[in-house]
Amino acid sequence: MTTFDDREKDFENRFKHDEELRFKVIARRNRLLGLWAAQRMGLAADAAEAYARSVVDAEFEPGGDSAVAAKVCADLAAKGQSCTPAQLQFELDHFAATAKQQIMTE
């Protein structure tokens, strides 16, 4: 192998690692957001976990983060809870930082 081959392989490995980390952070962020929303909606433990899983799954819908935000806001509104885009963005940012910290310390 040449130095260029080694560099290419290292770059590919780093890219793979970064993408796996990004995926884990987004999934954990969405789970935390789902648990937060479930608490605001007054859901019990099992229902809260199921709701959090549905929020994680919403990331795979067309729109990604927008689909997650739309789902959570619609569900909160259906339960009579307020949901502003600014508040939701704040929570997404907060939970993203929390998720990254949790994953990095595992």
Domains in the chain: boundaries: 23-104
Mean pLDDT by 10 residues, the chain (106 residues): 80 91 96 98 96 95 90 95 91 97 94
CATH superfamily of 23-104: Domain of unknown function DUF1476 (1.10.790.20)
What pLDDT, on the 0 to 100 scale, is given for residue 11?
A: 86
* 3-state helix/strand/coil string of the chain: CCHHHHHHHHHHHHHHHHHHHHHHHHHHHHHHHHHHHHHHHCCCHHHHHHHHHHHHHHCCCCCCHHHHHHHHHHHHHHCCCCCCHHHHHHHHHHHHHHHHHHHHCC
Output the pLDDT for position 93. Answer: 95
Claim: this prediction has a pTM higher than 0.85: yes
pLDDT at residue 1 in the model: 62
**pLDDT at 99 (0 to 100):** 98
